[in-house]
Amino acid sequence: MGVPVLLRFAARRTVLTLALVAGCSKAAPERPAERALPVNKPVPPLEDTSFRRPAAERIVAIGDLHGDVAATRTALRLAGAIDDKDHWSGGRLVVVQTGDQLDRGDDEPDILDLLERLASEASAVGGALYALNGNHEVMNVQGDFRYVTDDGFRDFGSAPPNEAHEREIRGLPNDQQGRAAAFLPGGGVARRLAKRPVVLQVGANVFVHGGVLEQHVDYGLGRMNSELQQWMQSPETGLPPAVVAGESGPIWLRLYSDGIPLASACDELNRVLARLNAKRLVVGHTVQQRGINSACGGKVWRIDVGLSRHYGGAPAALEISGDETRVLRPATAPGN
């Protein structure tokens, strides 16, 4: 049973109000809207493997895109994933994009459409493209529009009314109502995002936007994926699961990506990887000024290079072939 309707409206209206007060300012501090700690629930069975995919001969991971479709195409070409017509050319290649396709840029619909089409084309020839949900996807479904550009509101201005959230939507400025109709739980874009996981393991490689803790493994990685998906799909599921959207959730965590991790952080990571029978964790979320790099003895790779126009970084991607890792830049793209 969901949160009582009035409480649910009040909670989400608070988020919407904060977004309006911030005026979509880029200077507003980026932090989760909900800080509630996850409640203690029974640990799911260890045989939950819904977040796992088979090992692949070659994997390429791409970090935050933030509304820049040109940089997205560049990164996909670095991976050898698409041709000059933007169609899949990677064969059995597996591409993982670690979330934050949204906000800070003007090309959000183009990116969503491109990634969905490529996922279908890749699947048809034995490859795969997996796009994860990051904190900015979840923020938009929460109605937190602090980082949406003016064009980002216009792009979704014609979204059909979302009757389940009529009161919340009516309280917004006219130019924001279409985006709210599209993104609030049960809306058209929210249902598209609901198809994406938060955490994905491909062979011995774990991919997530922010990070994975032992408490997340205890809770169940597949369970977190499922609960977030259910929240996005239905307007009656209340607030997002706190284990995902809270400050220490896998979409917000910076334990492994902010500077040089403490020894205790690397110890935590070693325990996580051991329990998942994995060799490395790949994360985005925190812009790496020195480019893609690793920490904790190569156990975590940080791949957010700020490749969008908003940050002005140079596109790059991480290639994983068995136990070998390589940073792909324009001069090292396949075929060059």
Residue 34 binned pLDDT confidence (cut-offs 50, 70, 90): very low
What's residue 295's pLDDT? 98
Kindly state the average pLDDT of the residues 229-248: 92
Look up residue 119 and give its two tokens.
């996922």
The answer, yes or no, to whether residue 47 has pLDDT greater than 90, is no
CATH topology of domain 48-133+188-332: Purple Acid Phosphatase; chain A, domain 2 (3.60.21)
Kindly state the average pLDDT of the residues 229-253: 94
Catalytic residue ranges: 136
Residue 227 contacts residue 50 (beta carbons within 8 Å):
no
Q: What angle do CA 66, 212, 103 make, to 5 degrees?
A: 15
Give the closest residue to 183 by CA, choosing from 4, 11, 7, 16.
16
Kindly state the average pLDDT of the residues 244-273: 97
What's residue 334's pLDDT? 58
Listing DSSP states for 152-196 in one string gives: HHHHTTTPPP-GGGHHHHHTS-HHHHHHHHHHSTTSHHHHHHTTS
The domain spans of the chain are 48-133+188-332
pLDDT digit string (tens) for 6-16?
A: 334 334 443 44
What's residue 4's pLDDT? 36
pLDDT digit string (tens) for 215-233?
A: 999 999 999 999 999 999 9
Residue 183 contacts residue 233 (beta carbons within 8 Å):
no
Look up residue 101 and give its two tokens.
């396709």
Residue 49 binned pLDDT confidence (cut-offs 50, 70, 90): confident
Kindly state the average pLDDT of the residues 254-271: 97
Look up residue 185 and give its two tokens.
């739980």
Collapsed DSSP state (helix, strand, coil) of residue 264 = helix
Higher pLDDT, 212 or 5: 212
Question: pTM for this structure?
Answer: 0.87
H or E element in which residue 10 lies = helix 5-22
How many other C-beta atoms are found inside a 10 Å radius of the C-beta of residue 16?
A: 22
Higher pLDDT, 43 or 96: 96
Half-sphere exposure of 250 (CA within 13 A, CB side): 34
The answer, yes or no, to whether residue 24 has pLDDT greater than 70, is no
Angle between helices 108-124 and 69-78 in degrees, nearest 10: 30
The answer, yes or no, to whether residue 46 has pLDDT greater than 50, is no
Angle between helices 135-142 and 221-233 in degrees, nearest 10: 30
